[in-house]
Amino acid sequence: MANDYSLDRIDRKILRHLQDEARLTNQALASRIALSPSACLARVRRLEALGIIQGYHARLDPFCVDVGLVLFVEITLEGRAPDEQARFEGVLSATPEIVEASHVSGRIDYLLKIVVRNMQHWTELREALVGGDYGVGSVTTHVLMDKPKVFKGYPVAERHADR
């Protein structure tokens, strides 16, 4: 896992196509990569089973579904012991407004992506996070204004290159 020595050029083409258009039919995918549908399907199933493909998701316009503000929130914890991290990570799962959480090295501990209806909603949620005894030290908020580049997938090279 977490490597790619088993991915040949065909697997990489499959990944590029499905990253871009996850609802392609197996037949359409097969013809784009010049493979028979049966062989193509077997490869897709294998990529799923290996955990290389982890899911398929529709990308929605957040502002169409009750989201008024998207926030990037930097969190530092008061302490970095494993149990303090576990305590904080418990909140992450329990809070639907936190849609993505990354544990990072550097000046901060966590970077969160949070969606709320409006500023009042964020004020309340922020107070719950800070005042909730989860070990949160500081909270720095950035409000998304626009998105010059939307995430649609990772670049997948033709072939593996170590450099």
Partner DNA sequence: TGTGAAATCGATCCTTA
Partner DNA sequence: TAAGGATCGATTTCACA
User: Long-range contacts: 86-92, Cβ < 8 Å, 24+?
Assistant: 87/134, 87/135, 88/134, 88/135, 88/136, 90/134, 91/129, 91/132, 91/134
Compute the least distance from the CB of residue 38 to DNA, in Å.
3
Choices 14-22, 35-43, 76-84, 125-133 (CB under 8 A): range interacting with a second copy: 14-22
Compute the least distance from the CB of residue 44 to DNA, in Å.
8
- What Å distances lie between residue 1 and 6, 46, 47, CA to CA? 10, 13, 12
Choices 32-40, 75-83, 106-114, 127-135 (CB under 8 A): range interacting with a second copy: 106-114
**Per-residue mark of binding to DNA, 16-45 (x: CB under 7 A):** ---------xxxx------xxxxx-xxx--
The reply on whether position 1 binds a second copy by CB under 8 A is yes
Q: Let me know the angle formed at the C-alpha of 108 by 143 and 94, rounded to the nearest 5 degrees.
A: 70
Compute the least distance from the CB of residue 136 to a second copy, in Å.
14
- Give me the amino acid identity at 75: I
